Structure 1
Amino acid sequence: MAIGYESGHGRGQQYGPGDGREPGHGPGAGGGSDGSLPAWLRAPFEGRTWRAYGYVLLSLPIGVVLFTYAVTVVSLGAGLLVTFLGVPVLAAGLMGCRGFGALERARARGLLGLEVAEPRPLRVRRSGVLPWMRAVLLSGTSWRALLYAVVQFPWSVFSFVVAVSVWSVGLPLLTYPLWFWVFPMWAGRGGLQLYDDGHHRILLDSPLEILATAGAGLVVTLVTPWLVRALTAVDRGLVLGLLGPSRLSARVVELEADRGAVVDTAAADLRRIERDLHDGAQARLVSLAMDLGLAREKLTEDPQAAARMVDEAHGEVKTALQELRDLARGIHPAVLTDRGLDAALSSVASRCTVPVSVAVDLQRRPAPALEGIAYFTVSELLQNVSKHSGARSASVDVWRADDRLLLQVADDGGGGASASGGSGLAGLAERLGAVDGILVVDSPAGGPTRVTAELPWRG
């Protein structure tokens, strides 16, 4: 420092990463076990940081274009509403905003790695210009895209100024030891001037001050990547909230998919019942009718043969009745209706090929539909235990937690069960998902296996 009083150097504060960590890196700032640099040292050199910085730089000119377009089309459309021309102008303007929204989603995907689902397309019920304009004007996606064009502009100005200013301060201070010679050689001063009131002047010209300046620049440079990522986190929120599908439309799509799963499941169950009736009880009853006809013909000629045929027919009747009982139990067992889940699941467990303990802890019975879903879920899981697990024992637990009904089937078999692909567990998970249920499979190789189903409680 050349002359004057001492100036205090504020300590730079280094902020850790917020929620913008790279995938696969832990939350700590220390280096990994593989000897790599700590995250706070890698950040200024990572491609993610420079893509985020590029996103911020591009946001300003794009924001100017979007804001100008939005204000122009809305003002023009609103001004022309006194005539019929205002409606098509406004509809065309909103459609343009939807197109800009698609470009912004692509930009966020390319530079920020943000995957945003496409909003629901326009639903035009009839062909023609008027139905199309009505669909555009009534679409929430159109108005959210317009709101994005308006809101994004002031935020892009703020983020651009902050990001450029911080980079412009950090990098020159960090490299100050390399270019401070410019001041004594070309400016006639000993170094970078911090203060001058005509009587006192503060210059950064001593080796210690030059080193401290570079240290402050280093701190600013290390903080800048996290600041830029924090700025782009707001951009992520804007794109997700205004350019993606709304929660309501996403829920509608989910319910439509669930309805399709329910319809497919019901159709499959009907086909199974028809196949079981055709191949089982119906075939036996047809054979029984033929045997009784032959017995009637032999009744006068050979009573003993007729008696044997009637006796065989009696056995067929018993078998057919048992198949009908099994089929009825598969549709909806009477014991479930009469005595509830505890007795019904105990009945299912008794037919399993391995010993099964059943524990049902429910203060009151759930809704009949929910009871049926729980019963068939446990039934299918116990069938898997019998057929595939190689277990020596299994257990069934049913309990209620707040507004959820939980079912857990565990066995000590070989494990390796999975709900992926086209397995039976995948179909069961899909059916549970149709009623807002969840299926979680924990089955490491070698066992044990624990399958937990969660259903919404309705009493």
Structure 2
Amino acid sequence: MAMGYGERHHRQGFQDGGARRHRLPAALRAPFEARSRREFAYVMLNLPMGVLLFTYAVTMVALGAGLLVTFLGVPVLAAALAGCRALGRVERARARGLLGLEVGEPEPLRVRGTGPMGWTVAVLKSGTSWRHLLYAVLHFPWAVFSFSVAVTVWAYGWALLTYPLWFWLFPVYGGQGGLQLYGDEQHSVYLDNPFEITVTALVGLLFTLASPWIVRALTTVDRLLVHGLLGPSRLASRVVELESDRGVVVDTAAADLRRIERDLHDGAQARLVNLAMDLGLAREKLREDPQAAARMVDEAHGEVKTALQELRDLARGIHPAVLTDRGLDAALSSVASRCIVPVRVEVDLPSRPAPAIEGIAYFTVSELLQNISKHSGARSASVDVWRSADRLMIQVADDGVGGADTAPAGGSGLAGLAERLDAVDGILLVDSPAGGPTRVTAELPWRG
């Protein structure tokens, strides 16, 4: 995605300033970064939260299972799952606040009945509820492990690193030379001379520098657990995405219908109305002034030709006949011939895709070539179409001034084009630095 010169300059300045502020490598400054502290706090809270979740889940599920022989078992089990969902909300908030992990809310309960029974059935049938219960059970052993590892590494690291500051406690209060490394009935090894103290501090430094990365690796597992079990399921996310895409398709179709209606009303329809009026006047003047009537008929003939051309252009904008009859190669060559800059077209397809995908590819190239004609200031352009595995690839390039952007504020129309492609699981990528060149790549699913 392209950005303006001012934004690039600001971002470059920010990066340069960041480089000046962080002269230490990441490995040395990691123990003192706010992110490391937040991640360590998250791991520390893992244990109490894990105990709470596990205790609640096991207790309530065991109670509900034991009461299944009575009418109380089912509502108790539903209450257990509802409680796990509530605690899952707390876990998502904790991950968002300390790990910066943005996890969407899972799909809500779909209560079809009325009263407590409808709610109970909805909770028990919800896959989200059972995933929250699974998280409560699986999170406990991981919380114990991650807490133990993090505390051990952190404590040993800082204790050994600061050993030169406090080793004097052993001879003063413990009656021994220092920290005992080994001891039996005959030998005792203490860390008490300068060399051993220095080596101990260096080992502690290694532990201290490694502890943030170890904690970060531990939180990676937590991220996977929260995202996989407490977030929306892939099926639910896909349903939401398809509903959004369906809305885009409906809006696009409505906009196209309004455009066609407007073009007909302001173009061909207006010309045909004027044509009818001119022919009526010519008929009235036919006996009185045949020559004037003939001139009016000639003018009407010109209006008919103009109206026919507008209708042809409109039909081509809806779905060109050349695309249906001869495919993308001929249709794109026809579009390229109307561009104000020379366009090289190369289409390498083993077969024709589905008509819907073929139509979207055609209108995508048409829109991009129209942008080149209006905004690029290019001297030449190219269109390449090929198939890669199960994707139809389109690349339109020009040597113009660049600066194209998919942001709606850019006014280039690329944002609407990206939405159209996204509605059919397509992708639009724009590479257009200031000064050019511009390269726009579109991917569409191949459906034969």
TM-score by length of 2: 0.91
Task: Please name the residue that 1:290 is paired with.
Answer: 277
Is 2:425 aligned against 1:458?
no
Is 2:256 aligned against 1:236?
no
Task: Please name the residue that 1:181 is paired with.
Answer: 168
Is 2:425 aligned against 1:425?
no
Partner Cα separation in structure 1 for residue 40 and residue 113 of structure 2: 45
Q: How does 1:39-78 map to 2 (within 5 A)?
A: 39-78=26-65
Partner Cα separation in structure 1 for residue 442 and residue 172 of structure 2: 77
- Output the amino acid matched with 2:303: E
Task: Please name the residue that 1:276 is paired with.
Answer: 263
More helix by share: 2
Q: How does 1:69-218 map to 2 (within 5 A)?
A: 69-125=56-112, 127-218=114-205
Structure 2 gaps of 5+ residues are: 1-11, 13-17
- How many positions carry a matched residue from both structures? 430
CA drift at 1:35: 6.3
Task: Please name the residue that 2:324 is paired with.
Answer: 337
Task: Please name the residue that 2:370 is paired with.
Answer: 383
Partner Cα separation in structure 1 for residue 192 and residue 380 of structure 2: 81
Percent identity of the aligned residues? 78
- Output the amino acid matched with 1:396: V
Task: Please name the residue that 2:247 is paired with.
Answer: 260
- Output the amino acid matched with 2:234: R
- Output the amino acid matched with 1:317: V
CA drift at 1:349: 1.1
Task: Please name the residue that 1:358 is paired with.
Answer: 345
Partner Cα separation in structure 1 for residue 356 and residue 223 of structure 2: 41
Is 2:436 aligned against 1:447?
yes
CA drift at 1:117: 1.7
- SS of corresponding position for 1:110: helix
| Deviations, residues 114-162 of structure 1 (Å, cap 9, x unaligned) | 1112222223345533332222222221111111111111111111111
Task: Please name the residue that 2:15 is paired with.
Answer: none
1:407–1:453 Cα contact (<8 Å) kept: yes
Partner Cα separation in structure 2 for residue 411 and residue 172 of structure 1: 62
- Output the amino acid matched with 2:382: S
- Output the amino acid matched with 2:435: G
Q: How does 1:403-418 map to 2 (within 5 A)?
A: 403-418=390-405
Partner Cα separation in structure 2 for residue 394 and residue 312 of structure 1: 40
RMSD over aligned CA atoms reads: 1.9
| Deviations, residues 186-230 of structure 1 (Å, cap 9, x unaligned) | 222222223333222222222222222222222222222211111
1:32–1:38 Cα contact (<8 Å) kept: no
Partner Cα separation in structure 2 for residue 417 and residue 126 of structure 1: 53
- Output the amino acid matched with 2:415: A
Task: Please name the residue that 2:6 is paired with.
Answer: none
Partner Cα separation in structure 1 for residue 244 and residue 97 of structure 2: 29
Partner Cα separation in structure 1 for residue 200 and residue 376 of structure 2: 68
Partner Cα separation in structure 1 for residue 208 and residue 146 of structure 2: 17
Partner Cα separation in structure 2 for residue 160 and residue 217 of structure 1: 19
CA drift at 1:330: 0.6
- Output the amino acid matched with 1:62: M
- SS of corresponding position for 1:199: coil
- SS of corresponding position for 1:265: helix
Task: Please name the residue that 2:387 is paired with.
Answer: 400
| Deviations, residues 24-76 of structure 1 (Å, cap 9, x unaligned) | 9xxxxxx9676611222212212222211111111111111111111122112
- Shifted more, 432-441 versus 40-49: the winner is 40-49
1:94–1:143 Cα contact (<8 Å) kept: yes
- Output the amino acid matched with 1:36: R
Change in 2 beyond 3 A, CA 1:268/1:35: closer
Partner Cα separation in structure 1 for residue 377 and residue 194 of structure 2: 77
Task: Please name the residue that 1:227 is paired with.
Answer: 214
Partner Cα separation in structure 2 for residue 180 and residue 350 of structure 1: 85
- Shifted more, 431-440 versus 243-252: the winner is 243-252
- Output the amino acid matched with 2:341: V
CA drift at 1:451: 1.3
- Output the amino acid matched with 1:185: V
- SS of corresponding position for 1:81: helix
Change in 2 beyond 3 A, CA 1:351/1:126: farther
- SS of corresponding position for 2:408: coil
Structure 1 gaps of 5+ residues are: 1-23, 25-30
CA drift at 1:94: 1.3
Q: Which runs of 4+ in 1 moved over 3 A?
A: 31-35, 125-128
- Shifted more, 203-212 versus 279-288: the winner is 203-212
- SS of corresponding position for 1:300: helix
Task: Please name the residue that 2:9 is paired with.
Answer: none
| Deviations, residues 278-333 of structure 1 (Å, cap 9, x unaligned) | 11111112222222222223333333332222222222111111111111111111
1:415–1:443 Cα contact (<8 Å) kept: yes
